[in-house]
Amino acid sequence: MTAISMERKVLGVFVLMFAGLLATTVLAFITTRRLMNTAGWVSHTYAVMDRLQATRAAALQAESAMRGFVITGDNNFLNTKDSALSHLATDYIQLRKMTSDNPVEQRHLDRLSRILGDWRTRVADVQIARQFTGFAAAQALVRARHIATRTAQIFLTLDTMHAEEQRLLDARLVEERHRDTVVNVVYVLLCSLALIFFIGIYLQIRREIRQRSRTQEAVTALNSELKQQSESLEQVNKELESFSYSVSHDLRAPLRAVDGFSRLFEQEYRARLDAEGLRLLGVIRNNAKRMGMLIDDLLAFSRLGRKPVTNTEFDMRALVEEALAEALSGVEAPHPRVEIAALPDVRGDRALLRQVWLNLLANAVKYSSKTPQPRVSVEGRIAEGENIYCVRDNGVGFDMRYYDKLFGVFQRLHSEEQFPGTGVGLAIVQRVILKHDGRVWAEGKPNEGAAFFFSLPNKDLPT
């Protein structure tokens, strides 16, 4: 399971924190709206209760003014009574509007309306009796019409309505306190969660820093070790290079001696040698020559590992024609028929790739030379991210069961008597192509020819 990087952990924590902050903001907005709504209803309830108090005061004032008029007969009390009744009517209308959403209060107001109507009628009768028949008749009528009872019913109804509003007020205040508690609890939880997240990320960062300080100490130690190994390897390479040149010189000297003395021996004693002796001298000289070629190929192969790769763009077809001319230069007629298709250009080391083409074309010419009508074709195409090239011939081919031997040093699928060679050419091809970050492969059938492919990256080419 792939370890989660520190950057992703931090990003995840901040995403969670942002989500928590967003949730808190939304919750705060909703709660604030509800609190504002609740506060509005609380204010409304207080306003209704104030109006009920005003209604009670108006009713009390009207009842007191009526009693004063009955006792004194002073018309000023009538003016006070009429003014109180006017306020009472106004308060009643306002209460109707203010409690329109409350069916309980509306029913109480219906009852209050009936009681007030009956009370006004009875008060009017008492007023007429006082004006025309005197105090005693009015006093008797007050008792007979139960004015005090009706007034008490008005006050009782108003008190009932006031109790209902008080109940609503208490319920809304409890709801408001509950929401405040919920909000406070949520805020505390979110703050605690944020604190836990920050502590966790702090501990994680500290642990990550310690671990990185240790993935860094190890890297420093490894770099030091690699540097030492690199220096040792460089020294070994220098020693190998010196050894290669020394071996080359030391091996070439006896080979030249063998070739020279065998040639001199043949010239001096040719007349005394029979055919078998001359043949054996030829074998000695040919093997000395082959040994020299083998030394040259080995040196070329070893130099490839040390030579840096240049990167230039060039005409691949021109390079193929140049390599083909060299491959055919030492071949006796008849030459094979060679077809070169359109080849995509590439960026790479022209000298090294020339060696690749030379080796592949020379092999194709050599292994098709015993075919009645030898043919060699060169093809190329552009694939995704790479150019693919192919050298195809109709020669002896090879058995795919021995494919693994193709690109090995000194690995040959045909004998020296059939086709001369050192067995290093394809190994050089593979090494050059791998140094270019490419691929090498082949296809073939015995006596049906062979095709050698290699690919080169084309991502660096201009579009």
Q: Which of 206, 226, 259 is the last residue of a domain?
A: 206
- Same domain, residue pair 190 and 325: no
Domain count, the chain: 2
Residue 273 within a domain: no
Residue 229 within a domain: no
Residue 249 within a domain: no
Residue 212 within a domain: no
Q: How far is the C-alpha of 367 from the C-alpha of 414, rounded, in Å? A: 10
pTM beyond 0.75, yes or no: no
pLDDT at 463: 40
The CATH number that applies at residue 366 is: 3.30.565.10
Range of the structural domain that residue 27 is part of = 6-206
pLDDT at 318: 93
N-to-C CA span, the chain? 40
3-state SS record for the chain: CCCCCHHHHHHHHHHHHHHHHHHHHHHHHHHHHHHHHHHHHHHHHHHHHHHHHHHHHHHHHHHHHHHHHHHHCCCHHHHHHHHHHHHHHHHHHHHHHHCCCCHHHHHHHHHHHHHHHHHHHHHHHHHHHHHHCCHHHHHHHHHHCCHHHHHHHHHHHHHHHHHHHHHHHHHHHHHHHHHHHHHHHHHHHHHHHHHHHHHHHHHHHHHHHHHHHHHHHHHHHHHHHHHHHHHHHHHHHHHHHHHHHHHHHHHHHHHHHHHHHHHHHHHHHHHHCCHHHHHHHHHHHHHHHHHHHHHHHHHHHHHHCCCCCCCEEECHHHHHHHHHHHHHHCCCCCCCEEEECCCCCEEECHHHHHHHHHHHHHHHHHHCCCCCCCEEEEEEEEECCEEEEEEEECCCCCCHHHHHHCCCCCCCCCCCCCCCCCCCHHHHHHHHHHHCCCEEEEEECCCCCEEEEEEEECCCCCC
Q: Which of 206, 237, 264 is the last residue of a domain?
A: 206
- Same domain, residue pair 321 and 198: no
Spatial neighbors of 55 by CB under 8 A, at least 6 apart, are 88, 91, 92, 95, 158
Q: How many residues does the chain have?
A: 463
pLDDT tens, position by position, for the chain (463 residues)? 344 565 666 666 667 666 766 776 666 666 666 656 666 777 888 888 888 888 888 888 888 888 887 888 788 888 888 888 888 888 888 888 988 888 888 898 888 888 888 888 878 888 888 888 888 877 777 777 677 777 788 888 888 888 888 888 888 778 777 777 776 777 777 777 777 777 877 777 788 788 888 878 888 888 888 888 777 766 655 655 665 666 665 666 677 777 777 778 778 878 887 888 778 777 777 766 666 666 665 566 556 555 677 788 889 999 999 999 988 887 776 788 999 999 999 888 888 898 899 889 988 988 888 888 999 999 999 988 899 999 999 988 888 887 777 776 545 554 454 445 555 778 888 888 998 899 999 898 998 889 999 999 986 654 4
Letter string b/e over residues 226-261, b meaning 16 or more CB atoms within 10 A of that residue's CB: eeeeeeeeeeeeeeeeeeeeeebeeeeeebeebbee
Residue 237 within a domain: no
β-strand partners of 338? 376
The CATH number that applies at residue 121 is: 1.20.120.1730
Tokens of 244: 């290669």
Residue 74 within a domain: yes
Closest CA to 98 of 30, 140, 45: 45
pLDDT at 29: 64
Closest CA to 165 of 289, 242, 287, 56: 56
Residue 283 within a domain: no
pLDDT at 462: 45
Phi/psi at 307 (nearest 5 deg)?
-80, 130
pLDDT at 292: 65
- Same domain, residue pair 28 and 142: yes
- Same domain, residue pair 199 and 56: yes
Residue 245 within a domain: no
Closest CA to 367 of 407, 413, 408: 413
Q: Which of 152, 179, 206 is the last residue of a domain?
A: 206
- Same domain, residue pair 17 and 147: yes
